[in-house]
Amino acid sequence: MSRTTLVRKFIPLLVVALAILTAALLVWSRPEPERETPVDNGEPVQVQPVSRQLETLVIEAQGSVIPAREITVQPQVSGRVIAMGDNFRPGGRIAAGELLFAVDDSDYRLAVAQARTRVAEAEAALALEQGRQAVAQREWALFEDELASGDNDSALALREPQLQSARAGVAAARTQLQQAQLNLERTRISAPFNAVIRSENIDLGQIVGPQTAAARLAGTDTFWVQASVPAAQLDFVDIADLETSGSVATISYDTGTGQVRRQGEVIGLLSDLDRAGQMARVLIEISDPLATDRGRLLLDSFVDVEIRANRELDVIRLQPKWLHNGDEVYVYEDGVLRIRRVEVAWRRPDAVFVSSGLDENERIVVTTIATPIAGMKLTLDDTTGMAASTP
What integer pLDDT is reported at residue 213 of this predicted model? 96
Q: What is the phi/psi pair of residue 254, to 5°?
A: -90, 125
Q: Which CA distances in Å does 171 have to 163, 166, 181?
A: 13, 9, 15
> Where are the strands (E) in 31-85, listed by range?
43-45, 47-49, 52-67, 70-73, 79-84
Per-residue pLDDT of the chain (391 residues; tens, 9 = 90+): 555 665 566 666 666 667 777 766 666 666 665 566 556 667 888 999 999 999 888 888 999 999 999 999 999 999 999 999 999 999 999 999 999 999 999 999 999 999 999 999 988 988 887 877 777 677 667 766 555 555 555 666 566 777 788 889 889 999 999 999 999 999 999 999 999 999 999 999 999 999 999 999 999 999 999 999 988 888 889 999 888 899 999 999 988 778 889 999 999 999 888 877 779 999 999 999 998 888 889 999 999 999 998 888 899 999 999 999 989 999 999 889 999 999 998 888 889 999 899 998 999 999 988 888 888 898 888 654 454 444 4
**Residues forming CATH 2.40.420.20 domain(s) in the chain:** 45-55+314-380
The answer to whether the beta carbons of residues 51 and 362 sit under 8 Å apart is: no
Helix, strand, coil shares, percent, the chain, to 5: 25, 35, 35
**Residues forming CATH 1.10.287 domain(s) in the chain:** 106-185
**What is residue 209's three-state secondary structure?**
coil
What integer pLDDT is reported at residue 182 of this predicted model? 96
**What is residue 371's three-state secondary structure?**
coil
**Residues forming CATH 2.40.30.170 domain(s) in the chain:** 61-65+219-311
How far apart are the C-alpha atoms of 198 and 70, rounded to whole Å?
Answer: 9
| CATH code linked to domain 45-55+314-380 | 2.40.420.20
Do strands 43-45 and 378-380 pair parallel, antiparallel, or not at all (unpaired)? parallel
Q: Burial of 221 by CB count in 10 Å (0-12 exposed, 13-18 middle, 19+ buried)? A: middle
What integer pLDDT is reported at residue 385 of this predicted model? 46
What integer pLDDT is reported at residue 143 of this predicted model? 65
The number of CA neighbours under 13 Å toward the Cβ of 360 is 3
Considering the four listed CATH numbers 1.10.287, 2.60.40, 3.40.50, 1.10.150, the one that applies to the domain covering 106-185 is 1.10.287
- Exposure string for 42-56, b = 16+ CB within 10 A, e = fewer: ebebbbbebebeebe
Nearest to 101, CA basis, from 219, 204, 12: 204
Q: What is the phi/psi pair of residue 15, to 5°?
A: -65, -45
What integer pLDDT is reported at residue 388 of this predicted model? 43
How far apart are the C-alpha atoms of 225 and 365, rounded to whole Å?
Answer: 42
Can you give the pTM of this predicted structure?
0.71
How far apart are the C-alpha atoms of 361 and 85, rounded to whole Å?
Answer: 71
**pLDDT tens figures, 101-145:** 999 999 999 999 999 999 999 889 888 878 777 776 776 677 665
Return all residues near 10 (Cβ < 8 A) that are at least 6 apart.
Answer: none
How far apart are the C-alpha atoms of 69 and 299, rounded to whole Å?
Answer: 12
| CATH code linked to domain 61-65+219-311 | 2.40.30.170
> Sheet holding 363-365: strands in order across?
47-49, 363-365, 328-333, 336-341
How far apart are the C-alpha atoms of 212 and 207, rounded to whole Å?
Answer: 9
Q: What is the phi/psi pair of residue 384, to 5°?
A: -125, -20
How far apart are the C-alpha atoms of 271 and 95, rounded to whole Å?
Answer: 33
